[in-house]
Amino acid sequence: MKKYYKYFLVIGFLIGFLDGIRIAVISYMQAPSLPGVYEVLVQIGISLFFAFLYTFYAFLIWGLLFLGEKIYRKSKQP
């Protein structure tokens, strides 16, 4: 489990970034407008915020699985 933490972090980052883009697309569908430079920067910032947030969640999930594996292996030792 120790070698898989990079996969958890990358997948969490990608899912978070795509979720941020989804929020931006939905907001433009509800109130269409020609985005200005600052609006685009805010949307990119929101996407990056969600990317880092989901990366943190993925790291927590990996940590829980890693600890669970350690506890399981320790309980199996004679």
Q: Which long-range contacts (CB under 8 A, 24 or more apart) does 31-38 make?
A: none
pLDDT digits (tens, 9 = 90+) for 29-56: 777 676 677 777 888 888 888 888 888 8
* Cβ atoms 55, 24 nearer than 8 A: no
Ordered by start, the domain boundaries in the chain are 2-76
Q: pLDDT tens, 67-77?
A: 888 888 888 87
CB-count exposure of residue 9 (10 Å: 0-12, 13-18, 19+): middle
pTM for the whole thing?
0.68
